[in-house]
Structure 1
Amino acid sequence: MSQNSPQTNEASLHAVDYWQVLRNRYGIILLTFLLVFLTAAVITRVMPRKYSSTAVVQVNNPGQGFGSNLGILESRQYFATQFEVISAAKTLKVVAEALDLKNKWALRDEDAVVGVLKGMVETKLRPGTDLIEITVLHIDPEVAKEVAAEVAIAYQNRRNQEEAARAENQLDALDAEIEDQKDKVEAKRKVLDTIVRITGRPYFEGSQNSPESMESLLAKMADRDVFDLKKNRDQYRIYLEKLEELDKEQVLRYAAELPVDNNSVRTLHTEYLATKRELEANKASGLGARHPTMMVQQERLAGLREDLDSAVATLRESLATNYEMISEQLLVMEDTSQKQQDELVELATEMHDYKEATRDYESALALLQELKLTHSAERVGLRSPKEPITIQEDPKVGTKPVSPKVTLNLVLGAVIGLIFGIAIAFFLEYVDTSVKSLEDVERFLQVPVLAVIPKDVGVLHKQSGMSPDAEAYRILRTNIEFNRKNPEDNSITVVSGGAGEGKSTTLVNLAYVCAQGGYTTLMIDADLRRPRLHTFFDINNSVGLTNYLTTDLMLEDVILQTPVDNLYFMPSGVLPADAAGILNSRRMSELVQDVKQRFDLVLIDSPPILGVSDASVLASEVDLTMIVVQHRKLPRNMLLRVKQAVENVGGQVIGVVLNNVDIRSDNQYQYYTSYYTYYAPSAEPETRSNRKVVDAKKSPAPTQSNDSDLY
């Protein structure tokens, strides 16, 4: 046996085609489907008819809209909270009291009424809106309408009360905070007054010009004056230095260009240059130095030069004077600026506490003003009407029941029944370890499948020779010929794991087909527990195998010829008390050896091998053992035990016959079995008068004197 057979992966053993599973288990699927569907139909039929009535309310979130400021998560949480508020016991108690439901429904207390109402009320949000649908289900449509209307009103009133209480609490909190802030402002004012008295600097409420800012402005002005004086002083110094460096002619020109007030040098220098040009012009015209005009002009030019020198000297003195004066002013202004800076530093030190106290006081005062404004706004909002909940649609009386949903329940029942049936089918297929295919046999038993016998095959010798079912047994006959290693091995016992697997029918039909093929075939009914072979031929079972084994009867006395040519039969005889002991005898061994010499093929029927030891004894006596396995019956482990039981006594398993296969539902066998119907014989069965399994010299039948009884 192959080593990997017992350890084959369980998943691979159940790797079957899904459609094949559905076809094989369609009965279970249909039964489950009908049971679930009928159950759903019955439950739907007995369920009470309920009517619905719906009130639609709009939730107005105070101060903000759901679509703008609230995020998606916050909006879902808000509406989920409102759903809980609607179905809360506090809301439903108001409804119960308003409709007097305790007395109308004859319940023991309000808690029981609230429990019933919780089961009636359903809430949901209309997608994309702020509208909540309050739906009430009840067997009475009028009651459903009344309860829906009262739930909407109770919810609206509760939200109005909660909103009013919330606003009042906010106002009370603001009043307390305003009073507390007033005390803080007064304390800050006292601290500021103390600092004002210490520093001597007054505080003007609302003034933006602090003493520190005025001092800073004066210091900046003094710095600017110092800068201007330095600039002027440096400018005058430059003028004086330049006048000292230039010669007389350059000095005249430079002095005439100086940007100073009352500069007489500029006018004299202009006149001087004009007179000089006239003198040069007259000289060029030919006038001599002694010419009166020339002399007048020379005297005038000399006088202008003296005036220029005098004016330049005066200008230099004026510049020096201004330089000295500005330098003295600069010293005074620098001293003043330094004092301003010192005073500013001192003021900044003194103003630190002043500024801090002022800032604290002004901040506290501003917060007080803001609280007062908020309080006023809240007060105005409280006085104006608010509607956190608006009833948009009043409930109406339902005209048609909404529960149970007949169509939905039946569809769900059908779907669930189908799914459940398919699940059961696959589960049964998974837990089913019986033989389902040829591969199962060859994988676990490691022996070939000799033939696949279709379901509901009858006894062939009672049917027409044209029956296509005979072809399956012809295949079996051929496979036996080619699978036995020794041509002398012509005694075969047919065994099965349990009763009712078609072992005896398989033996009779195989014997009939072999006899048709020209084999002299002997059937021995060695099932000494429940013999059946005689019933196939309507033969008396009183004398047979047991009589031969326990008495001195001759072999010809217990072998009978059947109506079928070449087919002989040995009945079981009287049933003994110790069947296994009789079969496990020397005379039985001699019997097997004797019939092997007389017949081409000996087929021995036996009881189930797992039930009694008879079959094991027969397996040890004969040449070959053929196992008949009913399709989808015994677990694979039991079949493995059948093979082991044969091998443990020294028997040789030639192969397996897979019996009772429903080829209409098992697609994998249709190809294997359907072809022989096409090739089924259309004439008389074949004869093989010259073909023998054993030596041709051997007689096909006993040759004793009473041949008439044998044949």
Structure 2
Amino acid sequence: MNLLQFLLILKARYKIILVTCFITVFTATVITIFLPKSYSATTSLLLNYKGMDPVTGMVFPAQLMPGYMATQIEIIKSRNIALKVVNQLGLTRPEEAKEHFHISNNGKKDINNLLANLLLSKLTIKPSKESSVIEITFSNPDPDFAAIIANSFADNYQQASIELKIEPAQKAAGYFSKQIIILKDNLEQAQARLTKYQQEKGITNPEQNSDVEIMRLNELSSQLSEIQVAAIDAQSRQSAARNHASESPDVAINPIVQKLRLDAASAESKLAEISLQLGENHPQYQSAKAQVNKIKSQLQVEISRVANSISRSSNITEQREAELRVQVELQKQKVLELNRTRDESTLLKKDVEIAQRAMDTVTQRFGQTRIEGESNQSDIAILNPAIPQETPSSPKVFLNIVLAFVMGGILGIGFGFLAELFDRRIRCREDIVNTLDMPVLAIIVSKSKNKDINLLTNQTYQ
């Protein structure tokens, strides 16, 4: 079938099409007029929510929380909110149920759930794509009742959001209050351990005590270094005085030894002069020789005394060095003990500081969560409350008539083709060719329509 055949069929069956379309439009119009009118009321909500972890206190913007808007829609459409609306408006009363829902309790126990399901079936939630606004729409034959229900859903959702926010905060506050008791005990125990340790060790100011003892150790170490140098020098002088006492520098610089040496040299010179004049048996010679021997004897005695003095000085230096060594070692042990005590005291102090910081942190979070648990401020704001509408939202007469016209046209065309199927007519030369399988030689046009006669010769249509 080509377009010409299709148009010819429509032209031939236009009455059926028009009648069908008229009947469809008329029926749809009558039904639309007699349908009960329904009014829609819409409440707009603005969501300005910031998620917060009640334990860590970290804040997450709602935009970063996937599925936030979908979650809020599910909360609004929840049975819990619908039951709260039913209880708030007292819809379970028999007169209310009959007036708005045309039902009666009749002893049913689940009237609340039944009414909640009826409310949810007429409820529409529409989120905004580019903003944080949610529209709650409720439809009902009574425009005032529709506005009341929409506003009630908004109010109960706002209250539910507060409850959902403060309930975790209240639980967290209870958890923090228990932790405060535990951390307070830990802090007291850590402080008691530190105090007991300081009392046992007699620590008043560990830093100052350690500095004083280190200064004493440094002083003793300095004295030990000096005495060690002196001991080395004393040992060298002692060795020189013991092996060659007369040649020892310490002996040589002794004034008595120097005087005795001068006296010995003078006596030897005098003896040499006498020996040139007198014999060895002469009394003067004997006297001069005895004087020389006496002076040399005194010189040896003095040299021995000086050498012994050097030895005693070296021994004293060595003894002093040994004593300083002992004192340095004792002071080292004392400093090490002080360092160990200070380290242990520092560890105990750190335990106290850690316990104090934990106590402060938990106390701060407890204060925050307690305030949040007592707060009745909601992050949901009612932007536009629902008001009764003057015009019904359904049925939509114009839209239904347009749809009925389209459907009537489709049905009319269908009935027209159905009638053509049962009563097939020849309406064009293509029908002759297809139906009779014969060539068309000429087309005769009625004179009332066209005075010309078109002769088609030697033309065959397959």
Q: What TM-score, normalized by structure 2, do the two folds share?
A: 0.52
Distance 1:373 1:159, change over 3 A: same
Distance 1:471 1:215, change over 3 A: same
Aligned equivalent of 2:134: 132
User: Structure 2: how far apart are the matches of 1:469 and 1:134?
Assistant: 76
Mean Cα displacement is larger for which, 352-361 or 158-167? 158-167
**Which whole-Å deviations, capped at 9, do the CAs of 1:240-296 have from their partners, x for residues lacking one?**
xxxxxxxxxxxxxxxxxxxxxxxxxxxxxxxxxxxxxxxxxxxxxxxxxxxxxxxxx
Deviations 1:14-46 (A, max 9, x none): xxxxxx998898899999x99999989977964
Are the equivalent residues in 2 in contact too, given 1:145–1:396 (CA < 8 A)? yes
- Please, which of 356, 365, 382 is the counterpart of residue 356 of structure 2? 365
1:168 and 2:170 aligned: yes
Residue 45 (structure 2) aligns with: 57
Task: Give the CA deviation at 1:146.
Answer: 1.6
Instruction: Please show how residues 280-299 of structure 1 align to structure 2 within 5 Å.
Output: none
Q: Which residue of 2 aligns with 1:278?
A: none
Given that residues 55 and 391 in structure 1 are in contact (C-alpha distance below 8 angstroms), is that contact kept between their aligned partners in structure 2? yes
Q: Is the 8 A contact 1:53 1:398 kept in 2?
A: yes
CA distance in 1, matches of 2:214, 2:409: 100
Deviation at residue 111 of structure 1 after TM alignment: 1.9
Does 1:394 find its partner at 2:376?
no
Q: Does 1:178 align with 2:180?
A: yes
Unaligned runs of 5+ in 2: 53-58, 106-110, 230-319, 411-428, 445-452
- Distance across 1 between alignment mates of 2:145 and 2:350: 68
Shift of 1:118: 0.8
Determine if the alignment matches structure 1 residue 470 to structure 2 residue 458. yes
Correspondence for 2:210: 215
Q: What is the CA–CA distance in structure 2 between the aligned matches of 1:73 and 1:418, rounded to whole Å?
A: 52
Q: 1:364 deviation in Å?
A: 0.9
Hey, what does 1:479 align to over in structure 2? none
Match status 1:354 vs 2:345:
yes
Q: Partner residue of 1:438?
A: none
Report which structure shows greater RCO (CA 8 Å, sep ≥6): 2
* 1:682-697 to 2 correspondences below 5 Å: none
| Bigger proportion of residues as helix | 2
Tell me the amino acid that sits aligned with residue 363 of structure 2.
Answer: K
Q: CA deviation at 1:106?
A: 3.5
Equivalences for 1:8-157 in 2 at 5 Å? 46=32, 49-61=37-49, 69-70=60-61, 72-74=63-65, 77-102=67-92, 103=97, 104=99, 105-107=101-103, 108=105, 109-157=111-159
Q: Which amino acid aligns with 1:51?
A: Y
Q: Tell me the CA shift for residue 72 of structure 1.
A: 2.8
Given the superposition, is the C-alpha separation of residues 459 and 83 from structure 1 closer, same or farther in structure 2, using an over 3 Å criterion? Answer: closer
- Structure 2 residue matching 1:145: 3-state secondary structure: helix
Query: Structure 1 residue 88: deviation in Å?
Result: 1.4
- Within 5 A, what are the aligned runs for 1:354-433? 354-380=345-371, 386-404=377-395
For 2:190, the equivalent position in structure 1 comes to 188
Is contact 1:53-1:136 (8 Å) kept?
A: yes
Q: How does 1:327-338 map to 2 (within 5 A)?
A: none
Q: State how far apart, in whole Å, the 1-side matches of 2:143 and 2:211 are.
A: 87
Unaligned ranges ≥5, structure 1: 1-19, 235-328, 420-452, 474-658, 660-711
1:73–1:40 Cα change, 3 Å = farther
SS state at 2:138 partner: strand
Conserved? CA contact 2:183–2:355, under 8 Å: yes
Query: What secondary structure is seen at the aligned counterpart in 1 of 2:188?
Result: helix
Equivalent position of 1:444 in the other structure:
none
Shift of 1:117: 0.7
**In structure 2, distance between residues paired with 1:126 and 1:167:** 29
Q: Which residue of 2 aligns with 1:519?
A: none
> Matches of 2:202 and 2:91 in 1, distance apart?
79
Q: Bigger radius of gyration, 1 or 2?
A: 1
Q: How many Å apart are 1:344 and its aligned residue?
A: 3.8
Asked whether the 8 Å contact 2:62–2:68 carries over to 1, the reply is no
1:456 aligns with 2:432: yes
SS of corresponding position for 1:137: strand
Shift in CA distance, 38/134, structure 1 to aligned 2, threshold 3 Å: farther
Contact 1:163–1:388 (8 Å) recurs in 2: no
What is the distance in 1 between the residues matched to 2:457 and 2:36? 59
User: Which structure 2 residues correspond to residues 179-578 of structure 1 after superposition, within 5 A?
Assistant: 179-198=181-200, 200-202=201-203, 211=206, 214-215=209-210, 219=214, 342-380=333-371, 386-404=377-395, 454-456=430-432, 467-468=455-456, 470-472=458-460
Q: CA deviation at 1:57?
A: 3.0
**What do the CA deviations read for 1:124-172 (whole angstroms, capped 9, x no partner)?**
3345544332111223212211211222222233334444444433332
Q: Shift of the alpha carbon at 1:96?
A: 1.9
C-alpha displacement of 1:51? 1.7
Please give the secondary structure, in 1, of the residue aligned with 2:173: helix
Query: Using the alignment, how far apart are the partners of 1:343 and 1:27 within structure 2?
Result: 124
Listed one character per residue, the Cα deviations across residues 456-490 of structure 1 (whole Å, up to 9, x for unaligned) are 356768988973253227xxxxxxxxxxxxxxxxx
Tell whether the 8 Å contact from 1:219 to 1:337 is kept in structure 2 after alignment. Answer: no
User: How far apart, in 2, do the equivalents of 1:336 and 1:24 lie?
Assistant: 131
- SS of the residue aligned with 1:101? coil
Q: Retained in 2: the 8 A contact 1:91–1:158?
A: yes
User: Does structure 2 retain, via aligned residues, the 8 Å contact 1:87–1:118?
Assistant: yes
The alignment partner of 2:455 has SS state of: coil
Q: How far 1:367 sits from its partner (Å)?
A: 1.7
2:220 and 2:327 in contact (8 A); partners too: no
Cα-to-partner distance string for 1:333-377 (whole Å, 9 max, x where unaligned): 999887665544443444444332321122112222333333344
Q: Quickly say closer, same or farther: Cα 1:340–1:40, change in 2 above 3 A.
A: farther
Residue type at the aligned position of 1:146 = I
Q: 1:140 to 1:71 in 2, by over 3 A?
A: closer
Q: Find the aligned partners of 2:48 and 2:22 in 1 and give their Cα distance.
A: 47
> Is the 1:60–1:387 Cα contact (8 Å) retained in structure 2?
no
Matched residue, 2:161: 159
Judge conservation of contact 2:49–2:61 (CA < 8 Å) in 1. Answer: no
In structure 2, what is the Cα distance between the partners aligned to 1:21 and 1:188? 100
Give the conservation status (yes or no) of the 8 Å contact 2:86–2:116. Answer: yes
- Secondary structure of 1:472's aligned partner: coil
In structure 2, how many angstroms separate the alpha carbons of the residues matched to 1:63 and 1:73? 9
Separation (CA, whole Å) in 2 of partners of 1:180 and 1:37: 85
Count of aligned pairs: 314
Q: Is the 8 A contact 2:50 2:61 kept in 1?
A: no
> C-alpha deviations, 1:427-469, integer Å up to 9, x for none?
xxxxxxxxxxxxxxxxxxxxxxxxxx95535676898897325
8 Å contact kept, 2:50–2:62: no
Cα distance, 1:396 vs structure 2: 0.7
Amino acid at match of 2:70: A
Aligned-CA RMSD value: 5.3
Distance 1:378 1:111, change over 3 A: closer
- Other structure's SS at 1:368 match: helix
Question: Structure 2: which amino acid aligns with 1:94?
Answer: K
1:152-197 C-alpha deviation (Å, 9 max, x unpaired) = 2222333344444444333322221111212222332343345435
Percent of aligned pairs sharing the same letter: 22
